[in-house]
């Protein structure tokens, strides 16, 4: 492809200040998809200046007028779901139903944000004084810096940007370097919608461009979804600065609990979906299966059977279950964790780290292939493989004996707290899990993936320090003002405070 794609700054496409370019590659074939200019801190500086300048006018529009631009984006996402889903699949390797679901989730988020523009914003609050009106009113915060991951290259950018824009903020976005083609499409959609100059800006590139957004004093809000390592760096960098806010959503060491009262069909189905969908590369993917001793052997046999056979291959084919990993460096990391598990003495049940040559579809020899790696380990052992996030199809079976309290104790034995599921037909077990599992997202008799945008999405413990997504994002991108108005001719104070002077 001859063209080298650009940044979108202040309503213009630009090469930026840097001289370097980078490529987007199809992880299923190794084919180069497109080339992109690599952004520099100087490009971020320009983008932030544009967003800062555009903020004054953008914030004066009504929420409903701002939402009009998003309705245009929504219609485009809906009309182009199949086409864009295929691009998602080509660039990030998710199987095709996941590629489309990414676009559908983006459309849902935009619809939610634009629809919310016509709903009440803030609260009417009672006052002790009859002639006093009290309200909670929301205000935008200014330039919002958005740093997004490759695994949901269309949906997560809209998690960040749709509500931020409707609420009156302007945006500087640094998309993941692995999925710049998807980012290009998102930027074109804003351009096609006619969004005013400077309101939306995109700088393509790597971590140095992201860091420049985080460090810029004109950016009061940073939204980040991605690895725990980077998320904690951002939270620490921003934490010391008053007035600055970072909402970060990071990874997990998520688990599915399968109790002695589990329906075995649901247990196996939930576990397979949770562990292997997106080739284990969702922040909500499960890498631990905590299984009661009474059903352990049956579950193990059935789970191992599916993991041994599950179809890894060309993600554009409808009958593929798992596509490739995102990039060779990531495959190295997953392989290292599989090796580490062996070194830590676990009992390996399925090892498809290297696929057989006949499993790899023709023309896909250069893909980033890995299959499931399944093992059993002692839930009480202090192992790195059962406590650190791998972000791949690497899953431990942890057998437990005893009641639901014991299962939840194992579930909570992690620094993370993003997503999890329980499979049980016993409502007492389910309710105990719901109330005591330390999680931002908890599911009963379902996989622990597949959240819908009208629910909050975020984690506790090391998994997050805010909800840079879905409906809760409004808290990150707005400030709240307590606004109180006296409608009488005298001043009266609450709490019985004397107003005599």
Query: Annotated active-site positions, please?
Result: 249, 283
Q: Cβ of residue 242: shortest distance to ligand UN1, in angstroms?
A: 30
Q: Which is nearer to ligand UN1, 195 or 421 (CB)?
A: 421
Residues 6+ away with beta carbon under 8 Å from 461 = 414, 415, 416, 417, 438
Q: Say if residues 289 and 271 touch (Cβ distance below 8 Å).
A: yes
Q: In the complex, which residues of this chain contact ligand UN1 (CB under 6 A)? A: 105, 151-152, 282-284, 449-451
Q: Which is nearer to ligand UN1, 295 or 441 (CB)?
A: 441
* Rounded Cα distance, 11 and 201, in Å: 8
Q: Cβ of residue 160: shortest distance to ligand UN1, in angstroms?
A: 12
Q: Measured between alpha carbons, how far is residue 500 from residues 128, 133, 315, 408, 445 in Å?
A: 18, 22, 75, 58, 63
Q: Cβ of residue 74: shortest distance to ligand UN1, in angstroms?
A: 17
Q: Which of the 8 DSSP states describes residue 361?
A: P
Residues 6+ away with beta carbon under 8 Å from 100 = 81, 82, 85, 88
Q: Which is nearer to ligand UN1, 303 or 443 (CB)?
A: 443
Q: Say if residues 160 and 142 touch (Cβ distance below 8 Å).
A: no
Q: Say if residues 326 and 178 touch (Cβ distance below 8 Å).
A: yes
Q: Which is nearer to ligand UN1, 105 or 287 (CB)?
A: 105
* Rounded Cα distance, 474 and 349, in Å: 45
* Rounded Cα distance, 277 and 451, in Å: 14
Q: Cβ of residue 379: shortest distance to ligand UN1, in angstroms?
A: 24
Q: Which is nearer to ligand UN1, 38 or 160 (CB)?
A: 160
Beta-bridge partner residues of 292: 400
Q: Which is nearer to ligand UN1, 91 or 105 (CB)?
A: 105
* Rounded Cα distance, 166 and 65, in Å: 9
Burial category of 193 from C-beta neighbours within 10 Å (exposed 0-12, middle 13-18, buried 19 and up): middle
* Rounded Cα distance, 373 and 396, in Å: 9
Beta-bridge partner residues of 461: 416
* CA nearest to 475, candidates 149, 141, 231: 141
Q: Which of the 8 DSSP states describes residue 312?
A: B
Buried b (16+ CB within 10 A) or exposed e, 273-291: bbbbbbbbbbbbbbbbbbb
Q: Which is nearer to ligand UN1, 202 or 284 (CB)?
A: 284
Q: Cβ of residue 152: shortest distance to ligand UN1, in angstroms?
A: 5
Q: Cβ of residue 250: shortest distance to ligand UN1, in angstroms?
A: 9
Q: Say if residues 338 and 373 touch (Cβ distance below 8 Å).
A: yes
Q: Is 146 helix (H, G, I), strand (E, B) or coil?
A: strand
Q: How many CB atoms lie within 10 A of CB 73?
A: 25
Q: Which is nearer to ligand UN1, 282 or 364 (CB)?
A: 282
Q: Cβ of residue 225: shortest distance to ligand UN1, in angstroms?
A: 6
* Rounded Cα distance, 380 and 75, in Å: 51
Q: Cβ of residue 161: shortest distance to ligand UN1, in angstroms?
A: 16
């Amino acid at each position: 492809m001859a063209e080298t794609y650009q940044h979108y700054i202040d309503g213009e496409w630009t090469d930026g200040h840097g001289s370097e370019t980078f490529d987007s590659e199809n992880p299923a074939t190794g084919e180069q998809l497109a080339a992109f200019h690599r952004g520099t801190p100087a490009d971020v500086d320009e983008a932030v200046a544009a967003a800062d300048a555009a903020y004054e006018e953008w914030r004066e529009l009504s929420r409903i007028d701002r939402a009009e631009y998003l309705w245009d984006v929504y219609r485009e996402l809906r009309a182009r779901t199949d086409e864009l889903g295929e691009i998602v699949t080509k660039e990030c390797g998710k199987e095709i139903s996941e590629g489309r679901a990414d676009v559908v989730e983006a459309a849902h988020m935009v619809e939610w944000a634009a629809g919310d523009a016509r709903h009440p914003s803030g609260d009417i609050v009672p006052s002790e004084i009859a002639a006093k009106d009290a309200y909670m009113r929301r205000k935008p915060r200014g330039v919002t810096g958005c740093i997004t991951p490759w695994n949901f290259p269309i949906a997560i950018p809209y998690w960040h940007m749709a509500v931020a824009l409707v609420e009156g903020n302007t945006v500087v976005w640094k998309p993941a370097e692995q999925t710049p083609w998807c980012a290009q499409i998102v930027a074109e959609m804003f351009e096609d919608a006619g969004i005013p100059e400077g309101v939306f800006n995109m700088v393509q590139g790597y971590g140095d461009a992201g860091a420049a957004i985080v460090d810029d004093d004109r950016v009061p809000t940073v939204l980040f979804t991605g690895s725990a390592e980077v998320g904690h760096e951002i939270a620490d960098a921003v934490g010391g600065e008053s007035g600055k806010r970072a909402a970060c959503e990071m990874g997990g060491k998520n688990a599915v609990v399968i109790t002695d009262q589990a329906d075995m069909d649901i247990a196996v189905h939930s576990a397979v979906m949770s562990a292997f969908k997106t080739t284990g590369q969702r922040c909500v993917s499960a890498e631990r299966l905590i299984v009661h001793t009474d059903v352990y052997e049956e579950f193990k046999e059935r789970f191992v059977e599916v993991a041994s056979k599950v179809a890894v291959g060309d993600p554009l084919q409808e009958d593929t279950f798992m596509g490739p990993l995102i990039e060779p460096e990531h495959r190295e990391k997953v392989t290292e964790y599989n090796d580490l598990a062996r070194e830590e003495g676990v009992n390996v049940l399925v090892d498809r780290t290297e696929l057989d040559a006949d499993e790899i579809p023709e023309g896909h020899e250069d893909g980033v292939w890995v299959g499931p790696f399944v093992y059993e380990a002692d839930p009480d052992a202090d192992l790195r493989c059962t406590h650190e996030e791998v972000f791949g199809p690497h899953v431990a079976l942890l057998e437990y004996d005893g009641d639901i309290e014991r299962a939840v104790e194992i579930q909570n034995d992690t620094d993370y707290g993003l997503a999890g599921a329980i499979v049980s037909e016993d409502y007492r077990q389910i309710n105990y899990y719901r109330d005591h599992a330390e999680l931002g997202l908890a599911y009963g008799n379902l996989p622990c993936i597949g959240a819908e945008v009208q629910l909050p999405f975020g984690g506790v413990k090391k998994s997050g320090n805010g909800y840079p997504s879905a409906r809760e994002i409004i808290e990150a991108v707005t400030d709240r003002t307590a606004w109180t108005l006296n409608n009488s001719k005298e001043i009266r104070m609450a709490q019985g405070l004397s107003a005599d002077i």
